[in-house]
Amino acid sequence: MMPRAFLCDFDGTVSPSDIGAAFARRFSPAGAAEAPSFLARWMRGEMGHRELTVAQCELLAVTREEAMTFARGFTLDPHFAPFAREAQARGDAVLVVSEGFDFYVRDQLERAGLGDLPWSANALRFEAGRVVPEFPHAADGCGRCGNCKGRHVRTWRARGYQAVLIGDGLSDRCGAREADRVLARGDLLAWCHREGVAVTPFESFADVARAVRPAVASDGSPARATRRAGGG
């Protein structure tokens, strides 16, 4: 059976809370960086996530120490580490692909004992109480995302893996369009239903683990995996 690469969104997925959104809300005046009116153009698809990130960061006033203290108030889905280890033991790949920021993605994974897990995110440079976003993974993407998940899907498929996108939000759309399989909740699940993208719903990584665990035939051998043709 072809090995699988599980491309896991971070904010709202690996971390049940959207740490990036909470961070932008906490350190912008009156939460302006996450106000519905501020996000409206992005929600409508009139601006990409990279442009949105730049605009949000222009509003933020925070030091690295304040940012890290705030982010450490969040935790990961307790079922994520067992899922990742089980998948890796089968020979599958598990990686985190995030449109959030490196400082909290790295720290959260290390604190959960998952520092060896491959991950990518946008970078945030702290300068005298202000922040400047950088996008080291933008090359070969869609041109609108900071860290395009569609590019990661293509990369892993070229390596001979079946690409499985796991996410919860609109920043996962590029990956969902190109993945061999999609597991979703929240806004991404609703978007997949609207767009006719085959999708499997989930609530936690306990659900993900069950959904992707290979079936076992009556003789004890792995059953042949098939891609779902419809939603649900």
- The CA distance from 175 to 199, in Å, is 12
The per-residue pLDDT for range 88-128, each reduced to its tens digit, is: 999 999 999 999 999 999 999 999 999 999 999 999 999 99
The per-residue pLDDT for range 69-98, each reduced to its tens digit, is: 999 999 999 999 999 999 999 999 999 999
Please report the pLDDT score of residue 43 as a whole number.
87
Please report the pLDDT score of residue 216 as a whole number.
54
- Per domain, the residue ranges of the chain are 4-17+76-123+132-212
- Answer yes or no: pTM beyond 0.85: yes
**Exposed, middle or buried, 32 (CB in 10 Å: 0-12/13-18/19+)?**
middle
Q: What is the dihedral of CA 29, 33, 36, 41, to 10 degrees?
A: 140
* Residues of the chain where predicted confidence (pLDDT) is lower than 70: 216-232
Calculate the average pLDDT of the chain. 92
Using CA atoms, how far residue 32 sits from 35, 53, 68, in Å, is 5, 13, 21
Superfamily of domain 4-17+76-123+132-212: HAD superfamily/HAD-like (3.40.50.1000)
Tell me phi and psi for residue 131, to 5 degrees: -130, 145
Beta bridge partners of residue 96, listed in sequence order: 8, 119
Please report the pLDDT score of residue 177 as a whole number.
96
Please report the pLDDT score of residue 218 as a whole number.
44
